[in-house]
Amino acid sequence: MGHHDKHIAHTVVDLYKEVDLFGSSAKARELSDVVKQHALAGLAIAMIPIPGADLAGLAVNTWTMYVRINKVLGISFAENALKSIASGVIGNIVSTLPALALGLAAEGLFKFIPGIGTIGGMAIGAAVNVGVMYAAGKVYIKSLEKLLNNGQPLTEDNIATAAKDTAKEKGFVSEVYKEGKAFGKANAKT
């Protein structure tokens, strides 16, 4: 274990003493707010009329959400590492819930049809994107929580592995996806 890894390991111990990632602490509320803000950005991303461009938007939005979550927790990683983790989480979430893959595919296909198809694709995308973004945030936070609870260092490899494993937990992913969709519905009306 190098000097940098030892520093990260000590940071993990300090964070674990201070942070309740899913509870009612100030940090947990701040993390939840970050996830909700980025989930709502999924509504705007769905309005991109170009087929496939919204997928790039989701990837960038996920990456920036992870950057913000890391800032809240005082974690620093290279840009490329977070992009890789974000892409992996989205891919694993979609593969865990096949209905998501169908929704994202339908969104893209509808957008190829000018006019009513584009509008239909945007409507489908709005519902799917908020749920996906919300789930991606919760999966990432749960991954960090697992590592903290096990006393493991927050290295890029450990986070990527924990995120991949968490994104494959069908029950958890399904639950947070549904929460995200409900959150999106409630906030789309306001």
Distance CA 3, CA 6 (A): 5
Cα dist from 61 to 40, 54, 68, 73, 137, whole Å: 10, 10, 11, 19, 10
Q: Band of the pLDDT at 134, cuts 50, 70, 90?
A: very high
Q: Taking residues 125-146, what's their average pLDDT?
A: 89
Which single residue is written with the structure tokens 């865990």? 96
Distance CA 109, CA 54 (A): 12
Q: Band of the pLDDT at 141, cuts 50, 70, 90?
A: very high
Q: Band of the pLDDT at 73, cuts 50, 70, 90?
A: confident
On whether the CB atoms of residues 119 and 98 are closer than 8 A, the answer is no
Tokens of 54: 């919204």
Q: Taking residues 68-82, what's their average pLDDT?
A: 81
Percentage of residues in the chain with pLDDT exceeding 70? 83
Please report, for the chain, the start and end positions of each structural domain, with discontinuous segments joined by +.
3-188
pLDDT of 83: 74
Q: Mind listing the pLDDT tens digit for each residue in 29-48? A: 999 999 999 999 988 898 88
pTM given for the model: 0.80
78: exposed, middle or buried (Cβ count in 10 Å: 0-12, 13-18, 19+): exposed
Judge whether residue 157 has pLDDT over 80. yes
Q: Mind listing the pLDDT tens digit for each residue in 76-111? A: 777 667 777 877 787 777 777 766 666 777 777 777
107: exposed, middle or buried (Cβ count in 10 Å: 0-12, 13-18, 19+): buried
Nearest C-alpha neighbor of 86 from the set 133, 130, 53: 133
